[in-house]
Chains A and B, each alone.
Chain A
């Protein structure tokens, strides 16, 4: 059984640029959640996708957007990058009826 994978591992962008992060969910999982983890803090819920539809959103501005594809993989897009967007971005997949989430290793984004 393949686990959750994320790409790229690390990324450096300049303020104002746009970035796309990718996540492949675990086999059999149809739900993907994205989290932002700033240094020294716990993961913060960005949004969740279930069967290609957004299924809830945390306290993040609209420049954070996402997609889920028919194979349940997902993308996180961030426009107009700000310095405070520098963080570890975690993707987690789950079966909708099961709260147990399986996290990927994350993408470390640095905005300069």
Chain B
């Protein structure tokens, strides 16, 4: 049973528009959530995180929203740029398991010029 799910394998948006990537989780013990970006032939790169005591965290063009009651989080990228084209992974962990993240299967984002 997959504890972290990214139900959209791919997403295509126009440059300058908003990209919204979604993630659902089932384990109530998860209280720290991360988004990673991965380019081909590279390891995942940390993008942004949020703890369960918050419902929003912003870093430049990237904002993560957390809805604990729905066990749902989303990553917003505004405005989207062609360089944002990559695979985005949602990951979750519990405080007692530092660095032992459970990942979703990823969403491939394509930003068209």
Contact = CB atoms under 8 A, between A and B. Distances in A.
A4 B43 CA distance: 10
Interface in A58-106: 58, 90, 92, 94, 96-97, 99-106
Contact of B103 (A42, A48, A100, A104): A42
Contacts of B41: 105
B44 interface: yes
A33 B99 contact: yes
Contacts of B100: 33, 45, 48, 56, 58
A90 B43 contact: yes
A31 interface: yes
Interface residues of B, number: 25
B106 A31 contact: no
B66 interface: no
Interface of B: 4, 6, 32, 34, 36, 41-46, 49, 89, 91, 93, 97-106
Chain A: interface size category: 20 to 34
B98 A42 contact: no
Contacts of B32: 99
B105 A105 contact: no
Contacts of A90: 43-44
A101 B103 contact: no
Contacts of B34: 99-100
Given A99-B99, A100-B49, A101-B99, A42 B43 contact: no
Interface in A1-58: 4, 31, 33, 35, 40-45, 48, 56, 58
Given A43-B101, A106-B43, 12 more contacts: A33-B101, A35-B103, A42-B105, A45-B102, A94-B98, A96-B98, A97-B98, A100-B34, A100-B49, A101-B99, A103-B43, A105-B43
Contacts of A4: 43
B91 to A, nearest CB: 8
A101 B97 CA distance: 13
Nearest to B103: A42
